[in-house]
Amino acid sequence: MEKTFSILTLGCKVNQYESEAMSELFESRGYRQVENDDFSDVYIVNTCTVTNLSDRKSRQFIRKSKKNNPNSVVAVVGCYSQVSPEEVKSIEGVDVVVGTTERNRIVDLIEESKKNNEKINIVKDLKNVREFANTTNFDSNNRTRAYMKVQDGCNRFCTYCIIPFARGPIRSRTIEDSVREARTLADRGFKEIVLTGIHIGSFGMDLGDMRLIDLIEAIAEVDGIERIRLSSVEPIIITDDFMERAVKTGKLCDHFHLSLQSGSNNILKAMNRRYTREDYIEKANIIRKYMPHAGLTTDIIVGFPGESQEDFEDSMNIVKEVGFSRIHVFKYSKRKNTKAAVMKNQIDGNVKKERSEKLIALGEEYQEIFERENMKTTQSVLFEEKHDGVYYGYTTNYIRVKAKSEEDLTNKIKKVKILDTGEIANCEVLGD
């Protein structure tokens, strides 16, 4: 009799990568994946715990899964279960609790729970974890762009963030193993690799003299991989040497998600972010010196404890100074066991909402400015998918575009001219 499974993934690109790796494990054991709303033998919730909303979504899906099939096995994995294992275990309907390690055992654990009709909790303390847990993901649903997890953990301990407790200390994948996976991905038709991790700027610090740029250079040598893209990085890694070497590869995309969180020096210090607004602007300028049309995206938190109106204005102003191509705005959310959760001068929810709306509107304004600037230049696009005769893809600097074409553009890199602005900009294909 056919067995089925479903995975709900919350949170970051690392979680997406790990979910796809778990999917491969299930499929290799004869399971068939179904949609989250479908009747299934197994439901897996790959959780995030960055915000209270993430925790709430996890609990909602657990309850929904048991309604779909009361006899199903429900497993909760990831960051929420890592930091609050007893809380997760106590949720009605949960059968298996796994943290941010041991996911390679997920099929065995679920089958054991089903066979013995017992709950399993194997969340492990991460304090002494030092080795990168190797997972591979070769059968991504996206046949043109593949995510590759190359790093885990974080040692930064920003005052608002629970992730160091959820993911443990930094661990890096070896360059040799990363290149091996890149070759396999290239052989399977992937042209773009997105390097992802919890804090990829710290890649290699646990391996000796290795650094992120060394990894980029090594993957750039792999035949068939034509574009390398980075997930979120911190300003500290941006130097003239890094950018010179990155440009020389000819493959690193001119798109940097450069983590900011606040434009106020007061708030950055309170967050323990280890750079100033002046440092950040300098790093943005270094990027643009080597990649003039680079897309710079970022995250900004509003309503951090003690954030004055002047502090908020600093965040508004840095958006204008840097000229971000896109910003993601988050209202500060208390996370238990973090320093910020017990700070004085917590900001009223209505104030957070007002500031969030203002910053989002400003971000949209500068996104349009960036796209208009790019209408003056020729862009390179990897077309990834087709719907109703229209092809969709991203420029190297991360503008999503669409084009009609008689030619099959899927998994092809083409020069284009951007014709307008919007969530998905129309473009004209110019040829090779």
HEC assignment per residue over 157-223 = CCCCCCHHHHHCCCEECCHHHHHHHHHHHHHCCCCEEEEEECCHHHCCCCCCCCCHHHHHHHHHCCC
Residue of 139 and 331 predicted with greater confidence: 331
**Three-state SS for 27?**
helix
Residue of 205 and 298 predicted with greater confidence: 298
What is the mean pLDDT of the segment spanning 403-432?
90
Say whether both 363 and 403 belong to one domain. Answer: no
| pLDDT at site 238 | 96
Say whether both 100 and 153 belong to one domain. Answer: no
> For the whole model, what pTM was predicted?
0.83
List the single range of 66-80, 120-134, 177-191, 251-265 with lowest mean pLDDT: 120-134
Tokens of 278: 């002046």
List the single range of 133-142, 187-196, 304-313 with lowest mean pLDDT: 133-142
**For residue 320, what pLDDT band results from cuts at 50, 70 and 90?**
very high
Residue range of the domain that includes 288: 145-372
Look at residue 189 and tell me if it is in a domain.
yes
Look at residue 303 and tell me if it is in a domain.
yes
Look at residue 382 and tell me if it is in a domain.
yes
Say whether both 382 and 365 belong to one domain. Answer: no
d(CA 325, CA 370) in angstroms, rounded, equals 6
Instruction: Tell the burial category of 128 from Cβ atoms under 10 Å away from its Cβ (0-12, 13-18, 19+).
Output: exposed
Look at residue 198 and tell me if it is in a domain.
yes
Residue of 11 and 326 predicted with greater confidence: 326
Tokens of 216: 């980029």
Q: Would you mind telling me the total number of residues written for the chain in this entry?
A: 432
Say whether both 389 and 367 belong to one domain. Answer: no
Say whether both 177 and 67 belong to one domain. Answer: no
Say if residue 252's pLDDT is above 80: yes
List the single range of 263-277, 325-339, 353-367 with lowest mean pLDDT: 325-339
**For residue 128, what pLDDT band results from cuts at 50, 70 and 90?**
low
Look at residue 330 and tell me if it is in a domain.
yes
Say if residue 127's pLDDT is above 70: no
| pLDDT at site 61 | 82
**For residue 389, what pLDDT band results from cuts at 50, 70 and 90?**
confident
**For residue 53, what pLDDT band results from cuts at 50, 70 and 90?**
confident
Residue 354 pairs in a beta bridge with none
Look at residue 134 and tell me if it is in a domain.
no
What is the mean pLDDT of the segment spanning 174-201?
93
What is the mean pLDDT of the segment spanning 149-159?
90
Domain boundary among 105, 121, 137: 121
Q: How far are the Cα atoms of 198, 229, 266, 319, 394 from residue 232, in angstroms, in the given order?
A: 8, 10, 23, 17, 17
**For residue 89, what pLDDT band results from cuts at 50, 70 and 90?**
confident
Instruction: Tell the burial category of 27 from Cβ atoms under 10 Å away from its Cβ (0-12, 13-18, 19+).
Output: middle
Say whether both 263 and 355 belong to one domain. Answer: yes
Q: Edge-to-edge strands of the sheet including 42-47? A: 31-33, 3-9, 42-47, 73-78, 96-97, 120-121
Looking at the 3D structure of the chain, how many domains does it have? 3
| pLDDT at site 130 | 56
Say if residue 139's pLDDT is above 60: no
CATH of the domain at 387: 2.40.50
**For residue 431, what pLDDT band results from cuts at 50, 70 and 90?**
low
Look at residue 364 and tell me if it is in a domain.
yes
DSSP strand E in 266-345: where?
295-302, 326-331
Say whether both 427 and 308 belong to one domain. Answer: no
List the single range of 91-100, 142-151, 343-352, 374-383 with lowest mean pLDDT: 142-151
Say whether both 182 and 320 belong to one domain. Answer: yes
| pLDDT at site 138 | 46
**Three-state SS for 147?**
strand
Look at residue 268 and tell me if it is in a domain.
yes
The answer to whether residues 73 and 31 touch, using CB atoms and an 8 Å cutoff, is: no
Residue of 130 and 129 predicted with greater confidence: 129
CATH of the domain at 276: 3.80.30.20
What is the mean pLDDT of the segment spanning 254-272?
96
Say whether both 350 and 399 belong to one domain. Answer: no
Q: What is the mean pLDDT of the chain?
A: 90
How do the residues of the chain divide into helix, strand and coil, expressed in percent and rounded to 5? 40, 25, 40
Could you read off the pLDDT of 163-182 as tens digits, one per residue? 888 888 888 999 999 999 99
d(CA 403, CA 217) in angstroms, rounded, equals 32
Say whether both 427 and 315 belong to one domain. Answer: no
Domain boundary among 121, 156, 188: 121
d(CA 254, CA 247) in angstroms, rounded, equals 9
Say whether both 363 and 395 belong to one domain. Answer: no
Strands 255-257 and 378-387 come out as unpaired
| pLDDT at site 166 | 83
Say whether both 77 and 152 belong to one domain. Answer: no
